[in-house]
Amino acid sequence: MASARGLTVVGVPPLPAWILYIRIAILVLSLVLLGVAAWAVSMFSVGGSAAYGYTGASGMMVFVTIWSLVVYGGSLAFEFAAPHLFYRIVGLILYSLAVVFWLSGWAYAASQAAIVIDWTGGSDYGSALAVCAGLGAVAWVLSIVDLVFFILACVREADTGPKISQAELGQVQPSAPVAPATTGTSEQPATYSQQPYTA
């Protein structure tokens, strides 16, 4: 039976080898999208809106790509350089937020691209937003795959790890039968080992 205990352990879970390629693909897509979104911000700011702090969907995509570069690049660095410092619950939270940010980013870019392309009849800004939406959707799907297999690896590892019993809950079972005490012999204390609780 799967247990969520594996999500609270420190250390890198035993992920399939192809997950590395998924994360590299997310990083490459993030770099490409950062360039396209920055180009879209530069076209959007011609109208003066960016001077007031509003950059629209292109600004959201810049944020999402930087977030993904930090999260996936940082997690790869921790996995290879310092696996003893990899807190799985932090990884779960950051990967989950990345999925939510990718979804909101590409959906916002798609809606703005549809409005801009419909209103202008096609423009560079609308095309850049459409590229952000399309590639953002691909990155979103890849981040979902990464999150699902991360959770599965953590949960499955909890089943294969050492079984921990809790003696204070009465989960200690004798490992050898205890013979009744007889007079004239020295008493040997019974040895107990902790066994998992089975209900």
192 DSSP 8-state letter = E
Angle (nearest 5°) at CA 53 between 143 and 64: 5
The reported pLDDT for the residue numbered 27 is 96
The three-class DSSP label of residue 163 is: coil
Predicted local distance difference test score (pLDDT) of residue 161: 47
CA distance 86 to 18: 19
Q: How far is Cα 87 from Cα 184, in angstroms, rounded to an integer? A: 57
pTM: 0.72
Determine the pLDDT at residue 50: 53
Q: What is the pLDDT of residue 182?
A: 62
Q: Which segments of the chain have a pLDDT < 70?
A: 1-3, 45-54, 158-199
Are the C-beta atoms of residues 68 and 30 closer than 8 Å to each other? yes
- Cα distance between residue 177 and residue 140, in whole Å: 58
Summarised one tens digit per residue, pLDDT across range 109-133 is 999 888 888 887 777 888 888 999 9
DSSP classification of residue 162: -
- For residue 110, the Cα-to-chain-centroid distance in whole angstroms is 24
What are the C-alpha distances in Å from 109 to residues 114, 136, 154?
9, 9, 33
The per-residue pLDDT for 2 is 60
Q: Three-state SS for 190?
A: coil
Domain residue spans in the chain?
A: 4-160
- What burial class does residue 13 get, using C-beta atoms within 10 Å of its C-beta: 0-12 exposed, 13-18 middle, 19+ buried? buried
Number of H helices, E strands in the chain: 4, 2
**Cα 60 to Cα 41: distance, rounded to the nearest angstrom:** 10
